[in-house]
């Protein structure tokens, strides 16, 4: 998937302008990089368009926070409200699921606790584990 296609998916799913879709994509992926292991962030970045890969760059360990905190952090970076941010998170994660292999998306989902399921696109690649513990 190209960068343009990725942003178009976000723009369409979020009912947002191109600028807002780019801002949302960056905010969501930066927060995602804080939440997942550095190795998983690198693996994910390797399958995304090269313009997006730097947004997943991280050298730190994964932080433990739930989906509400994830959305709050994205809202803070975007300078928007939580409701809008949640819509953006869903749109970006949908674009990610389309841009990477099913295996890579499953690996990503495996790093997230069950409460993230509400933010993920529905489908066979997003079988969220039964663990309630935060990684």
CATH number where 43 lies: 1.10.490.110
pLDDT at 128: 44
Q: At what angle do helices 3-14 and 18-35 cross, to 10 degrees?
A: 100
pLDDT at 20: 96
Establish if 125 belongs to a structural domain.
no
State the Cα–Cα distance between residues 72 and 8, nearest whole angstrom: 24
State the chain's mean pLDDT as an integer.
89
Give the structural domain span for 40.
3-119
Establish if 129 belongs to a structural domain.
no
pLDDT at 104: 95
Establish if 130 belongs to a structural domain.
no
pTM beyond cutoff 0.85: yes
Establish if 124 belongs to a structural domain.
no
Establish if 14 belongs to a structural domain.
yes
Q: How many structural domains is the chain composed of?
A: 1
In 3-state terms the chain splits into helix, strand, coil percentages (rounded to 5) of 70, 0, 30
Establish if 132 belongs to a structural domain.
no
Regions in the chain scoring below 50 on pLDDT: 124-135
């Amino acid at each position: 998937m190209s960068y343009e296609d990725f942003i178009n998916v976000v723009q369409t799913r979020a009912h947002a302008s191109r600028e807002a879709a780019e801002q949302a994509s960056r905010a969501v992926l930066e927060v995602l990089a804080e939440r997942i292991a550095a190795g998983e962030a690198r693996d994910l970045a390797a399958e995304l368009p090269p313009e997006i890969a730097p947004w997943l760059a991280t050298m730190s360990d994964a932080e433990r926070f739930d989906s509400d905190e994830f959305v709050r952090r994205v809202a803070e970076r975007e300078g928007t409200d939580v409701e809008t941010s949640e819509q953006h998170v869903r749109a970006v994660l949908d674009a990610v699921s389309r841009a990477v292999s099913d295996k890579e998306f499953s690996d990503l989902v495996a790093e997230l606790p069950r409460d993230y399921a509400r933010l993920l696109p529905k489908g066979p690649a997003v079988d969220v584990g039964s663990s309630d513990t935060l990684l």
